[in-house]
Amino acid sequence: MQAIKLYNFPRSGHAHRVELMLSLLQLPTELIFVDLAKGAHKQPEFLALNPFGQVPAIDDQGVVLADSNAILVYLAQKYGNGRWLPTDPVGAARVQRWLSFAAGPLAFGPARARLITVFGASYNAEEVIAYSHTWLKVIDQELANSTYLVGSEPTIADVAAYSYIAHAPEGNVSLDDYSNVRAWLARIEALPGFVGMPRTVVGLQKTA
């Protein structure tokens, strides 16, 4: 099998979702660095792959896809051998619920808090951190009686949510009060093929 090309930026949680999924599926991968700092994602060559001008994007032997959650669905359906994405209506809907969460509250909470400290974004840190904790409380409650976000087996819901929650402390969002969340993170990190995202020594990570 030819390697799947992953156009990524190492500190992007969205790109890391896809890198993690590719590794969990043990798929050969060619990482192609997109220098966001130099605006490579807005150049014609990259825009031909993804007109939205965002990482990640993949090229799987000519099948070019963008949007991290859409790519997770594709990889699970094509290479997951029946795992990672339930096919029954209820299971599929429960996964979609968490993909919507990853694109909404997670992006506007922990991911945005991290943008402030890692990339110098000008959001209101106090508001973003408070918003993050509102949702972390919900997730912690959901995980009180569930091994993973959707039942007893990992799905792409977990992959979609992992990166920005695991790196929330970089944005000064503490995970200390969320024992169920921390246990869930540890379970994901123990999965065969797990690969982490490089940690940035900012926020609470300065003393971690």
* Domains of the chain, residue spans: 4-79, 89-197
Question: Given this model, what pLDDT does residue 67 score?
Answer: 95
Question: Given this model, what pLDDT does residue 202 score?
Answer: 67
Question: Given this model, what pLDDT does residue 36 score?
Answer: 76
Would the CA dihedral through 48, 7, 64, 90 be positive or negative?
negative
| Residue of higher predicted confidence among 205 and 39 | 39
CA 87 – CA 129 distance, rounded (Å): 35
| Residue of higher predicted confidence among 76 and 201 | 76
pLDDT band of residue 206 (cuts 50, 70, 90) is low
* Mean pLDDT confidence for 28-54: 85
Question: Given this model, what pLDDT does residue 30 score?
Answer: 97
Q: Is the pLDDT of residue 40 over 80?
A: no
Q: What Cα–Cα distance (Å) separates residue 99 from each residue in 14, 108, 111, 155, 182?
A: 12, 14, 14, 11, 20
| ∠ Cα 103 109 110 (to 5°) | 100
Question: Per CATH, the architecture of 89-197 is what?
Answer: Up-down Bundle (1.20)
Share of the chain above pLDDT 90, in %: 75
Burial of 26 (0-12, 13-18, 19+ CB in 10 A): exposed
pLDDT band of residue 51 (cuts 50, 70, 90) is confident
Q: Mean pLDDT score of the chain, rounded to an integer?
A: 92
Q: Is the pLDDT of residue 19 over 70?
A: yes
* Mean pLDDT confidence for 110-131: 89
Q: Is the pLDDT of residue 115 over 70?
A: yes
pLDDT band of residue 17 (cuts 50, 70, 90) is very high
Task: Round to the nearest angstrom and report the end-to-end CA distance of the chain.
Answer: 40
Q: Is the pLDDT of residue 61 over 90?
A: yes
Superfamily of structural domain 4-79: Glutaredoxin (3.40.30.10)
Q: Is the pLDDT of residue 208 over 60?
A: no
Question: Given this model, what pLDDT does residue 188 score?
Answer: 98
